[in-house]
Amino acid sequence: MSTALHDRIRDILQIDVVRTVPLSGGCIGDVRAVELSDGTTIVVKSGGDQLALEGWMLQTLSARSALPVPAVLHCAVDLLLMSNIETSGGITASAEQDAADHLAALHAVSGDSFGLERNTVIGGVHQPNPPMKLWLPFFAEHRLLHMAVNAHETGRLPAELVVRVEALCGRLSEWLDEPRGPSLIHGDMWTGNVLCNSGRISGFVDPAIYYADPEIELAFATLFNTFGDAFFARYNEHRPIADGFFEERRDLYNLYPLLVHVRLFGGSYVNSVDATLRRFGA
């Protein structure tokens, strides 16, 4: 961390920086644990031009739900200061059950429309959120097709696959029904964004929020094996999961995060998108 950034943090918090330790994770900016002269530790993200948006998403989650997230101490386009969240150990069965309690409560937070009052980002990639009354056209146009076109424009997804994504978008009603209503979701539920402390959830980080069918969040939680049976058994007690989710809808919803990963990384994720499209006849 540069001297100029040390000075900037000191000027904002009126406390000196003692030392910094690099942290892993986060597609938006450099992430460090920063020890201050009063003995407290904060987390600092710096760089890029989207950190004010990340701070706003954390503040929005805190204001609209009880989901445990870092407190935002300061946010600007290129600097985000947050409270430190204690961690110890990984995602155990008890942590999965705790996560299910938290996410079921989050998904009970309803909105007037799908989308959000602001566009957001997922992994640093633009995520449009125009408010819409119906979920299926929102998911088709502003998730699947948007990300497919974005991935193609950056040279990572062949045009032929974009055409197939568009064809699938016209048939979503064969597998998906309109949900009961819009639910607030975290939006990026992979293991690195779930912080645990001694078998409990201590916080969720790096959100990509909007109002959605909550099943898209449940699907994402299985894509990289973030949560398993213990999570779903507890979540089902709060919010019963309709038949067909694990058999069909999960893979259809996971086409969106797969397209995000194609946009970010390309490579084998292109084959995963192709396999999903083939499975649904596109």
* Residue located via tokens 């998911």: 139
**CB half-sphere exposure, 107, CA atoms < 13 A:** 22
SS3 121: strand
Q: What whole-number distance in Å separates Cα of residue 143 and Cα of residue 150?
A: 10
Q: What whole-number distance in Å separates Cα of residue 78 and Cα of residue 90?
A: 30
Task: Single out the catalytic residue among 7, 78, 188, 243.
Answer: 188
Nearest to 192 by CA among 25, 55, 56, 41: 25
Q: What whole-number distance in Å separates Cα of residue 82 and Cα of residue 102?
A: 21
Read off the DSSP letter of residue 232: H
The two three-digit tokens of residue 275, written as one number: 């396999």
Q: What whole-number distance in Å separates Cα of residue 259 and Cα of residue 194?
A: 22
Annotated catalytic residue 98: no
Residues forming the active site: 188
